[in-house]
Amino acid sequence: VKNKLTKFRASKAGGYALLARTYLFMGDYENARKNAELALSLQGELKNMNDYSIIIPGPFPNVPGAPLGWTNIPDAQLNAETIVARHFLRPFGLGMDVCASPELSALFTNDDKRWTLYYADGWPPAPPFNYMSRYQVKIFLRGDFYSNYLNVPEMYLVRAETFAREGKQQEALSDINKLRLNRITPAAYKVFTPADFGNDDERVLRFVLEERRRELAFTGMRVIDLKRLNKETRFRKTIKHTAEGKEYELQPGSDKYLRQLWPNATIFNPDWPLNP
């Protein structure tokens, strides 16, 4: 059952959730769905993000300006959607360090509470820290350590993807609709049906994958999703970034997806083979 003491400790639901994630990464969709359903049978509650808001002026009265991005979403250990929690050392997590790419930004609308609550123009939102005015991007500023490890939304997304891959469009969209009901403002919420995608299996699957990216952005899932999806020709993606006037590319299947082992680790473990 759910751990009654603290969500920093393992639980039965957490074990199933980790197995569901692992099997999905392996491409074993039958076992991924089986374990996602077992996790959801123990813990399946979603919280409506329309009930949350940005706190102004926020918890730091000495910070200049209104600290956009600080919300009243409970932190991971207190969030009902968290199955197993973990915290980062810095109080702002990834805030002030990472920005939403134009491609990721394009997946959101202002009717999506994940966009309006998690992303801000800057911290603090005053010159010279305004990323939107300087770079036309928003920083990822989850100042409250929301559900940041194994959580209920991921299990719905795992199950939805396995359904979509089997051509069970209605079942896949039912899970996505349930998640979006708790993420999209009521006036903009729409119940999606297979007809919205021309009853096309691949279009439904791509929509599920887009929802996965919206929900799990900056949780560490993206790089593994890229690696597993690169195994399918239809989803292969070349990553391009420009820095200081130079363009860098990461090709599908590139050895550069892996870093070399730490040198000291190889000294003490000379039998470990190095990746290229």
CATH of the domain at 183: 1.25.40.900
The DSSP secondary structure of 7-76, one letter per residue, reads: TTS--HHHHHHHHHHHHHHHT-HHHHHHHHHHHHHH------GGG--B-SS-S-TTSSS--TT-B-PPPG
Position with higher pLDDT, 71 vs 153: 153
Q: Structural domain of residue 221, as residue ranges?
A: 12-46+151-236
Q: Percent of the chain at pLDDT above 90?
A: 58
CB burial of 201-216 (b: ≥16 within 10 Å; e: otherwise) equals: beebbebbbebbbbbb
According to the per-residue pLDDT averaged within each range, which of 77-91, 127-141, 157-171 is highest? 157-171
Task: Examine residue 167 and state whether it is found in any structural domain, yes or no.
Answer: yes
Reported pTM: 0.89
What is each CA distance from 180 to 2, 4, 135, 245, 248, in whole angstroms?
Answer: 24, 28, 29, 39, 35
Count of domains in the chain?
1
Task: Examine residue 267 and state whether it is found in any structural domain, yes or no.
Answer: no
- Mean pLDDT, residues 232-246 taken together: 94
Which residues make Cβ contacts (< 8 Å) with residue 156, sequence separation at least 6?
36, 40, 46, 175, 176, 178, 179
